Chains A and B, each alone.
Chain A
């Protein structure tokens, strides 16, 4: 039993390990030594990626873009999640189903049209445009999670707040948000992961050097002729830095949250 699990664990870790040792080899060394530990480790690849590849700029961009996106994302998911989960209004269920229905469509299907729309609304080359598209695309899943959570909040809390005469907005702000803190952390992490690694929409909508994200930077580095595996590995590690760190620190929350919606029946 431990054996099988051990093998799986190794299989999961090995790719990361391989990328790490490859990124430390110079291209010349890599030609002859593809699989073993680097004989003469070098940080040249990282230099290439960060200094020459303008990765720092892209990293900063991502660090600005993602939190801004998260603010909108949280706003939308929490409000809609609370409404679907705990409030009562006509057509609630059909509307909720519509949200789930629209969650399914792949980015490829949407890209061409989304670009046309953004162009007409002058949202190309602006973070606002990209954030709106991201929230539209990732929002349903976040809303779904918040909805299932809020659905478990006891009705009494809502009722007693109503008796007190609290309006919905105040109820939301002072009660609902604090209650859902663990869940919010979870969708923050999931949202960050999704947005950080997102590529097709960013490629379409962010067209200038000043605006690009780190994931786009990774794509740009590839150029017309691809990249040496060594430089590629260095860029992969650089781009995954933040998601990996997030994972290490928020491990408990992620693993807790990914099953909401599972605990039924």
Chain B
């Protein structure tokens, strides 16, 4: 009993708490604290980040980097808490778009720091990373990845079904015909991840929307374009329904979470096509490694008659990036850390080791050894409509609507269009 009572105060002293603020050491060196929701990925991302941190520290002897991984689930809660406290890490990772814009008042303007190397990243990305996504306003975030979506296919399985493995389906009719042939050959046409959040459908719609609105996608955010009353959007929903009714969607789909099971299934050759990403996971590198770099094909979207545009590659100008917080005592040092990730050797390590798609033009894509990605990047990106939505819609509600409409058939197509329009209305109401 006494021992325990003695233990208690010592516990209290020991756990008196740690402060997160970047500190200034006596000899003038700076400690830069970085918060990250990727660092916890011990397999894929952490080793790369450790390497890059070491590189930056060796190139900048005065800087010590303290890299803290935070759980993905309540990341923004923690960031908000830091903001409220007015103190915390120097560098914070954000998802590009709405989630970053909310913190504009608390992140520094970076234009003066990036002036030297600004041209290495496209203005398309810089605009997205500016205050509220407005290109005329200062940049608040340095992008580390761009993201995008498209359809990968297994060339060997295509061949097996009697399809030309080098030729991706050019339009809806060819796509449906290909599915039919695959089905007849006993091959699952589309490997799908539908358990929980049916991301396969979510991502497929992003590809469709790119074809429907093309460059005008950004008008979905201003109210000049809508889902309601748009015949092509309704048609795309009908197409998805058809994919289910004709049995082209993986029958095991509802038992398979998208991350990572569905991707693993595709990589293991359990189906012919997969609606995947361009960066981080479920992409060209993973599938190239599994199926052979010449065993995987790709096409950005499905062309269908009612859509005004064709072959649009949907993308996010920035997937994730780093911002420097206004309370940082060493913004120059912090920017050096950020720069170390965004360009040069650090960036090459980042892309090479983690499968991230870097927006930096200087990265030698070809040296990576995956011809597919070079091919993918030849097309310009069209903005992903998801980036225009409010957080709860972008990261939750839209998936729920897809599940209701296509997986459980709880709501009709008209209702689906209505609630999708509701998401756009929410954006207008929030202004």
Chains A and B directly touch (beta carbon < 8 Å) = yes
List chain A positions with a Cβ less than 8 A from chain B.
27-28, 31-32, 48, 52-54, 64, 67-68, 71-72, 115-116, 119, 122-129, 177, 203-204, 207-211, 216, 219-229
Inside 8 A of A219's CB, which chain B residues have their CB? 71, 73
Inside 8 A of B74's CB, which chain A residues have their CB? 203-204
Instruction: Check A229–B72 contact: CB distance below 8 A.
Output: no
Interface assignment of B41: CB less than 8 Å from any CB of chain A:
yes
Instruction: Check A28–B20 contact: CB distance below 8 A.
Output: no
Report the bound CA distance from A210 to B68 in whole Å: 10
Instruction: Check B259–A226 contact: CB distance below 8 A.
Output: yes
Instruction: Check A211–B18 contact: CB distance below 8 A.
Output: yes
Instruction: Check B17–A68 contact: CB distance below 8 A.
Output: no
Report the bound CA distance from A252 to B71 in whole Å: 37
Inside 8 A of B7's CB, which chain A residues have their CB? 67-68, 71
Number of chain B residues whose Cβ lies closer than 8 Å to a Cβ of chain A: 43
Q: Can you sample 20 A-B contacts with CB below 8 Å?
A: A32-B268, A54-B42, A68-B15, A115-B81, A119-B85, A123-B17, A125-B19, A127-B12, A127-B15, A128-B17, A177-B1, A204-B74, A207-B68, A207-B78, A209-B69, A219-B73, A223-B41, A224-B72, A226-B260, A228-B264
Instruction: Check B72–A223 contact: CB distance below 8 A.
Output: yes
Instruction: Check A208–B84 contact: CB distance below 8 A.
Output: no
Inside 8 A of A67's CB, which chain B residues have their CB? 4, 7
Inside 8 A of B281's CB, which chain A residues have their CB? 225
Residue of B nearest to A68 (CB): B11
Inside 8 A of A203's CB, which chain B residues have their CB? 71, 73-74
**Interface pairs A-B: 3 shortest CB-CB:** A127-B15, A126-B17, A225-B259
Report the bound CA distance from A204 to B84 in whole Å: 14
Least Cβ distance of A68 to chain B in Å? 4
- A-contacting residues, B232-291, CB 8 Å: 257, 259-261, 264-265, 268, 270, 280-281
Interface assignment of B218: CB less than 8 Å from any CB of chain A:
no
- Produce 1/0 per residue, B62-92, CB < 8 A to A: 0000001111111001100100110000000
Report the bound CA distance from A223 to B72 in whole Å: 6
Instruction: Check B17–A124 contact: CB distance below 8 A.
Output: yes
Instruction: Check B73–A222 contact: CB distance below 8 A.
Output: yes
Inside 8 A of A229's CB, which chain B residues have their CB? 261
- Produce 1/0 per residue, B273-311, CB < 8 A to A: 000000011000000000000000000000000000000
Inside 8 A of B70's CB, which chain A residues have their CB? 207
Known A-B contacts A31-B270, A71-B8, A220-B69; the reply to A52 vs B18 at CB < 8 A is no
Interface assignment of B5: CB less than 8 Å from any CB of chain A:
yes
Least Cβ distance of B265 to chain A in Å? 6
Least Cβ distance of A25 to chain B in Å? 13
Instruction: Check A222–B72 contact: CB distance below 8 A.
Output: yes
Instruction: Check A48–B17 contact: CB distance below 8 A.
Output: no
Inside 8 A of A208's CB, which chain B residues have their CB? 18, 20, 68
Report the bound CA distance from A148 to B38 in whole Å: 49
Interface assignment of B40: CB less than 8 Å from any CB of chain A:
yes
Pick the contact of B71 from A52, A72, A126, A216 — CB < 8 Å? Answer: A216
Interface assignment of B136: CB less than 8 Å from any CB of chain A:
no
Report the bound CA distance from A219 to B40 in whole Å: 10
Report the bound CA distance from A209 to B18 in whole Å: 11
- A-contacting residues, B135-175, CB 8 Å: none
Pick the contact of B42 from A52, A125, A127 — CB < 8 Å? Answer: A52
Interface assignment of B115: CB less than 8 Å from any CB of chain A:
no
Inside 8 A of B37's CB, which chain A residues have their CB? 223-224
Inside 8 A of A72's CB, which chain B residues have their CB? 8
- A-contacting residues, B23-63, CB 8 Å: 37-38, 40-43, 46
Least Cβ distance of B40 to chain A in Å? 5
- Produce 1/0 per residue, B347-360, CB < 8 A to A: 00000000000000
Interface assignment of B430: CB less than 8 Å from any CB of chain A:
no
Instruction: Check B43–A48 contact: CB distance below 8 A.
Output: yes
Known A-B contacts A207-B20, A210-B18; the reply to A119 vs B40 at CB < 8 A is no
Instruction: Check B268–A28 contact: CB distance below 8 A.
Output: yes
Residue of A nearest to B72 (CB): A224
Inside 8 A of A64's CB, which chain B residues have their CB? 11
Least Cβ distance of B158 to chain A in Å? 21
Report the bound CA distance from A186 to B60 in whole Å: 57
Known A-B contacts A31-B264, A31-B268, A225-B281; the reply to A126 vs B41 at CB < 8 A is no
Inside 8 A of B11's CB, which chain A residues have their CB? 64, 68, 127
Report the bound CA distance from A210 to B280 in whole Å: 27
Given contacts A211-B15, A224-B41, A224-B280, 10 further A-B contacts (CB under 8 A): A52-B46, A128-B12, A128-B17, A203-B74, A204-B77, A223-B38, A224-B37, A224-B72, A226-B257, A228-B260
Report the bound CA distance from A224 to B280 in whole Å: 10
Known A-B contacts A31-B268, A226-B260; the reply to A52 vs B43 at CB < 8 A is yes
Instruction: Check A31–B265 contact: CB distance below 8 A.
Output: yes
Inside 8 A of A32's CB, which chain B residues have their CB? 268
Residue of B nearest to A218 (CB): B71
Least Cβ distance of A203 to chain B in Å? 5
Inside 8 A of A226's CB, which chain B residues have their CB? 257, 259-260
Max chain B Cβ within 10 angstroms of own Cβ: one of A31, A54, A211, A216: A31
Instruction: Check B18–A225 contact: CB distance below 8 A.
Output: no
Report the bound CA distance from A87 to B42 in whole Å: 55
Report the bound CA distance from A122 to B87 in whole Å: 13
Report the bound CA distance from A27 to B264 in whole Å: 9
Least Cβ distance of A202 to chain B in Å? 10
Least Cβ distance of B93 to chain A in Å? 11
Least Cβ distance of A71 to chain B in Å? 5
Report the bound CA distance from A190 to B290 in whole Å: 48
Inside 8 A of B259's CB, which chain A residues have their CB? 225-226
Pick the contact of B17 from A27, A53, A122, A204 — CB < 8 Å? Answer: A122
Inside 8 A of B84's CB, which chain A residues have their CB? 116, 119
Least Cβ distance of B63 to chain A in Å? 20
Max chain A Cβ within 10 angstroms of own Cβ: one of B20, B84, B260: B260
